[in-house]
C-alpha cells in the first residue's frame, strides 16, 4: 500500500500539504493524517478525495509514534511521502517562558520529528520524499525566540545530513525554511511575546509556501526557501557576521518597544484630557 504521512495536518501548512497533495498525487493509496485535534483531521479527511486514516495523537507522548509504526508494519506500507509539519514556537525571553512548555517545544520540534523519521525509514519507498518544516529562524540565532530558532537549526542540520545519507537509497529529503506564514502558528507563538513588526510585512500565504516546497521536493532540492525576501535574508546570514545582524535586530526591537510605549502613553494622556474636559 502506497502511503503519504502528514503530521500537523489539522491546521496551517500541514493541512495545506494534504490539500495540494490530494490534487497532485493520484498514485497514493492512503493519506495518514497526524495531529492531536481529531475533529479537525476528520473534517480534512472528508474534504479529500483519497482514503485517509486518522492518527489523533500527541506526538510527544511516549509510545504514540509506535502506533504509526505498527500500522505501517501491518499494512506492509510503502511510504512515498513523509511530511513533518507538527511544531510550535514560543516567543519571549527564556526567563518568562514556562520551562515545561519550552521543553515540550524541543520534544515536538526535534525529538518527535527524529523519532518518527527513524521509525519510518525502513518503510520508505524508493524515490520517496521526506519533507521537514524547518524555518528561516534556522539561519540565525534569535534572541527572544531562542529555543524555537535553535530547534529549527537542528531540523535544518538534520535534514541536510540525512539528505546525503539517504541519497544512495533514492530517498530525497527537503527542509522547508519559510519566513512568517499566515497560519494559526502566531496564535500560540505570540501568547508569550511579540514578533518584530517589520517581519509581519513579509508574511507569506501557506498555499504559496507549500506549492514551492512540493516543487522543490520533486526536484530533489535539499532546502526550500520561499520568496525573494527570505532568500535575501538567507544570503545575508551567510555573508555578514551574525553578531552584527543580531545587534541590528536588537536595535530595531528596542526602537519598536520605545515607539509603542510612547504611543501608549500618548493615548493615556488623551484619554485623561478627554475625561477632564467631559
Ligand atoms: N507559520 C509560520 O510563520 C512558520 C514559519 C516557519 C516555520 N513554521 C513551522 O511550520 C510548521 C507548521 O506550522 P504552521 O504554521 O502550519 O502552524 P499551525 O497551524 O499552528 O500548525 C501546527 C500543527 O502542529 C500540530 N501539533 C502541535 N502540537 C502537536 C503535538 N504535541 N502532537 C501532534 N501534533 C501537534 C497542530 O495540531 P494539533 O493542535 O491538532 O495537535 C497543528 O496541526 C511548524 O513546524 C512551524 O514551526 C511556521
Q: Tell me what pLDDT residue 199 has.
A: 73
Q: What is the pLDDT of residue 147?
A: 97
In eight-state DSSP terms, residue 203 is: P
Instruction: Tell me the three cell numbers of residue 42.
Output: 476528520
Which burial class, exposed, middle or buried, applies to 68 when counting CB atoms under 10 A from its CB (0-12, 13-18, 19+)? buried
Check if 200 has its Cβ closer than 6 Å to any atom of ligand 1: no
CB atoms within 10 A of CB 109: 27
**Ligand 1 atom nearest residue 189's Cα:** 20
- For ligand 1, atom 8, which residue shows the shortest CA distance? 135
* Distance in Å, CA 264 to ligand 1 centroid: 33
Q: How close is the Cα of 41 to the center of ligand 1, in Å?
A: 14
Q: What percent of the chain has pLDDT over 90?
A: 84
pLDDT confidence tier of residue 275, bands split at 50, 70 and 90? low
Distance (angstroms) between ligand 1 centre and the Cα of 111 equals: 15
**Cα–Cα distance for residue pair 57/71, rounded to 1 Å:** 14
Residue nearest to atom 2 of ligand 1 (CA): 181
The number of the ligand 1 atom at minimal distance from the alpha carbon of 14 is: 16
Whether 105 is in the pocket of ligand 1, judged by its Cβ within 6 Å, is no
What CA–CA distance (Å, rounded) separates 172 from 234? 22
Instruction: Give the span between the Cα atoms of 136 and 122, in whole angstroms.
Output: 30
User: Is the pTM for the entire model greater than 0.85?
Assistant: yes
Distance 109 CA to ligand 1 centre (A): 9
**Residue 72 Cα to ligand 1 middle (Å):** 23
* pLDDT (tens digit per residue) in 216-230: 999 999 999 999 999
**pLDDT single digits (tens) 132-161:** 999 999 999 999 999 999 999 999 999 999
Mutate to test the pocket of ligand 1, among 62, 100, 185, 190 (most ligand atoms within 8 A of CB): 185
157 Cα–ligand 1 center, Å: 19
In this structure, what C-alpha cell is assigned to residue 123?
518503510
Helix (H) or strand (E) holding 247: helix 242-277
Residue ID of nearest Cα to ligand 1 atom 36: 8
Give the least confident one: 6-15, 204-213, 266-275: 266-275
pLDDT of res. 196: 66
Mean pLDDT of 108-115: 98
Distance 84 CA to ligand 1 centre (A): 9
Q: How many CB atoms lie within 10 A of CB 8?
A: 26
Amino acid at each position: 500500500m502506497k502511503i503519504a504521512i502528514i503530521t500537523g495536518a489539522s491546521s496551517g501548512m500541514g493541512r495545506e500539504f494534504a490539500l495540494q497533495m490530494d490534487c497532485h498525487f493520484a498514485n497514493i493509496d492512503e493519506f495518514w493524517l497526524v495531529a492531536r485535534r481529531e475533529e479537525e483531521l476528520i473534517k480534512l479527511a472528508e474534504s479529500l478525495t483519497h482514503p485517509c486514516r486518522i492518527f489523533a495523537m500527541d506526538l510527544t507522548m511516549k509510545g504514540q509514534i509506535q502506533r504509526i509504526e505498527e500500522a505501517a508494519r501491518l499494512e506492509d506500507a510503502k511510504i512515498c511521502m513523509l511530511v513533518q509539519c507538527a511544531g510550535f514556537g514560543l516567543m519571549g525571553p527564556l526567563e518568562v517562558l514556562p520551562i515545561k512548555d519550552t521543553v515540550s517545544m524541543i520534544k515536538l520540534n526535534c525529538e518527535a520529528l527524529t523519532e518518527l523519521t527513524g521509525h519510518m525509514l525502513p518503510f520508505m519507498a524508493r524515490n520517496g520524499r521526506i519533507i521537514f518544516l524547518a524555518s528561516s529562524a534556522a539561519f540565525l540565532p534569535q534572541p527572544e525566540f531562542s529555543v524555537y530558532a535553535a530547534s529549527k537549526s537542528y531540523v535544518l542540520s538534520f535534514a541536510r545530513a540525512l539528505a546525503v545519507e539517504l541519497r544512495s537509497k533514492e530517498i530525497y529529503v527537503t527542509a522547508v525554511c519559510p519566513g512568517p506564514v499566515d497560519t494559526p502558528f502566531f496564535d500560540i507563538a505570540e501568547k508569550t511575546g511579540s514578533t518584530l513588526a517589520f517581519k509581519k510585512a513579509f508574511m507569506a500565504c501557506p498555499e504559496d509556501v507549500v506549492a514551492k516546497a512540493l516543487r522543490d521536493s520533486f526536484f530533489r532540492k535539499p532546502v526550500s526557501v520561499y520568496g525573494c525576501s527570505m532568500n535575501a535574508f538567507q544570503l545575508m546570514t551567510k555573508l555578514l557576521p551574525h553578531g552584527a545582524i543580531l545587534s541590528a535586530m536588537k536595535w530595531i526591537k528596542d526602537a519598536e518597544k520605545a515607539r509603542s510605549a510612547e504611543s501608549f502613553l500618548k493615548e493615556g494622556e488623551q484619554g485623561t484630557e478627554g475625561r477632564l474636559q467631559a
